Amino acid sequence: MIDRVISWDMHTSRTIAEKLERIEHPLAYLKFVANQKSFAFILFYFYFLLNVEIWVLIELTISIALMTGFLMVLKLKVKRKRPKQKEREEHIFDQYSFPSGHSARIGAIFAFAMVFQQNFIAFVVIGIWGVLVCIERVVSKQHYLLDVIAGIFIGLTFSLLLIPIMNIFVVKILLTIH
């Protein structure tokens, strides 16, 4: 059963990459915004353009940091090779594709937007950006479709579970300050 799922995933991912290869280069710019190195851009967007409170950004940062640790352990356990190996690997986790860290960050950011963002247009922009980044991960052959789906699920789940827990601590801190 698992072999059939993996075979379907590889075939479907290859088909998607072939059909959308014309848009691979324009999509490539979007992936950098979902990278850990450019996370400051996301914080800037949420804080200055969407007026999200600073404690929410701290929660988002903590959530993504904890989730990244979980993803690293999972990547080293599963050890699924990428559809196309990277030319230059920055660390050991770069050689493995399952789950997609970019997609997990997208899932986490989307979860925070669902909970804390009241602006519908901003919510839609975040959603479209997230979908395009996830498509880019498959089109660039850095991930299989199931890597991306698992990443989104992990990001959403991790954040939606951590938000209420972290809110308890934030309320306690705020109550002790006042």
Return the domain boundaries, the chain.
Answer: 2-177
Q: What is the pLDDT of residues 116-129, one digit of tens each?
A: 877 788 788 888 88
State how far the Cα of 148 lies from the Cα of 16, in Å rounded to an integer.
13
Cα torsion through 133, 46, 113, 60, rounded to 10: 90
Residue 81, strand partner residues: 96
Q: What is the pLDDT of residues 111-167, one digit of tens each?
A: 888 888 777 887 888 888 888 888 888 888 889 999 999 999 999 998 998 888 877
How many degrees, rounded to 5, is the angle at CA 145 between CA 103 and CA 86?
A: 75
